[in-house]
Amino acid sequence: MGSKTDVWQGTLALMILKTLETMGPQHGYGIARRIEQTSGHKLLVNYGTLYPALLKLEQEGYIKSAWGVSDNNRKAKFYQLTKAGRKQVEREAREWNETTAILAKFLSPDEV
């Protein structure tokens, strides 16, 4: 108990998109920290997974990136949602809610 766990496969993209929707433009380190913070520090974001996910989301047109300067005055790539990304957040969140509602029926002892 109390140890960090890796992010579930298939959920990282949604967490990234939702983080950008909530926080606005962020660099990779900021996205990772926000995901970990939002999880109550129960999730561990692996940078070897985060950056390929960011690249994939950018290639799919859901986010765009631009170079800027971070709070500590370092050059950093900042990511932000595109219009397509906003629609994707809604779609993925809806699908996730439907999936977890179905799974909850299987896990609830009252439902048979």
> What is the mean pLDDT for each group of 10 consecutive residues in the chain (112 residues)?
63 96 96 95 90 96 96 94 97 93 88 55
The whole-number pLDDT of residue 1 equals 39
Q: How far apart are the first and last CA of the chain?
A: 31
**CB neighbour list of residue 45: distance below 8 Å, 6 or more residues apart:** 7, 12, 31, 32, 35, 36
Domain 5-107 is in which class?
A: mainly alpha
Q: Within 13 Å, how many C-alpha atoms sit on residue 31's CB side?
A: 30
What is the pTM assigned to this prediction?
0.86
pLDDT of residue 83: 98
